[in-house]
Amino acid sequence: MYSRMTQAYDSLVESETVTTCVWGTVYNNMNFSGNKTDTNTDSVPTLQQAVYTGSSLGHIKVWYLKEESGDLELKYVCKQKSSIVCLLLNNANTQLVSKTLEGCIRIFDASTMEVKFQFSISNTLRNVNIQFSIDEMFLLTESSDTCLSFYDIGSAEITSTYEIGPHFTSYILSHKGDVIIVGYADGTVKTFDCVSGENVVTIRNPNIGSVTCLVTCFKSFYLILGFSSGLIKLYSQTHGELLKIYEKPHKTAVVSIAVNPNNKTFVTLSRDFIMKVWNMTETLPEVKIKEHRDLPLHIKYADPELTAGLDFKGVDNIKSYLVSKEGGHYNFLPPPSLQQTPGQVSFSRDGKKLLSVAHQFIAIHSCPRSQARL
């Protein structure tokens, strides 16, 4: 049901790992100096699917998706001084926001990658996330170890601040923009009213680990939670009612969740590089994207001849392995940044493609036809 096509790109240097990704669209006659590459004024520009990736070396890369082959073509590299922890694209595909490990936030023109505005927040923060407000005039991000704040995109002034308490691990703004949903290290989830700042709903999840990721879906009716224990739960966002605890959970922490905009399925990625496909009521029988663990995720090259038949049982069991590429050898002991860059999954806006990144791998997956279109 989910076909898999993996692409590895040797434009990554040996010490560089992909930390985050986001889908977008750009016109195919734009270059990244602010000028059109096509001088024929009679030609009609068309929209081109693009992928933006951030890396541990602070590089933001823009890739074009070739529809015919499904491959990615690197178009532009923007180098920053610190690891990229978040990338965010607005709904109109005109603004790309990046956040670095040092707390520097930059707003780019998504078509030309020209920096339009930048500001910095405290680099002592944990850099959990960054979100647009509903009107896309403000950015929601951490302002202290216990607070979230909206920053004006044009001036970087704080317009409102919410006291959410310590030990938060994840947060997201609801689709309606009326509440902020926050996950904590003890498994608790709280929602805060964006007007009053009051805690309106509290969901307690004792003894199952911390909330590692959370997403809302389908007009904010549902809330999907992933935990460090590998458990996945589905809640009603409005009342905090538990709707489903999914069977056959991950064996390691859930690190990313992506919801298909076309149907009632979602994908989870775990720390040991397993991806699973779920629907909103029950697990799809034996439907699982081929595990990332069959690939040597720490090697710069991933030619099928080199990786066929290899079966890695998770990162903890990977000691060392040598492969040759044009006479060179690479030892892929798990890098020190492993715990900070476990991977990410993201659906294209039309729901037809799934993007996954993990270490030096970028994979494009073709999605099945919508089975439960809303």
Mark the ranges of the chain whose per-residue pLDDT is less than 70: 1-15, 29-44, 123-127, 218-220, 263, 281-342, 367-374
Cα atoms found within 13 Å of the Cα of residue 232, Cβ hemisphere only: 29
With a pLDDT cut of 70, the percent of the chain lying above it is 70
pLDDT of 88:
93
pLDDT of 247:
80
CA distance 345 to 305: 26
| Interval 299-334: pLDDT, tens | 222 333 333 333 333 332 222 332 323 333 333 333
pLDDT of 4:
42
pTM: 0.78
Q: How would you class 160 by CB atoms within 10 Å of its CB: exposed for 0-12, middle for 13-18, buried for 19 or more?
A: middle
pLDDT of 124:
57
In 3D space, the residue among 348, 349, 353 whose CA is nearest the CA of residue 365 turns out to be 353
Structure tokens of 50?
């693009």
| Interval 85-143: pLDDT, tens | 899 999 888 899 999 888 899 999 988 899 999 998 875 566 678 999 989 999 999 98
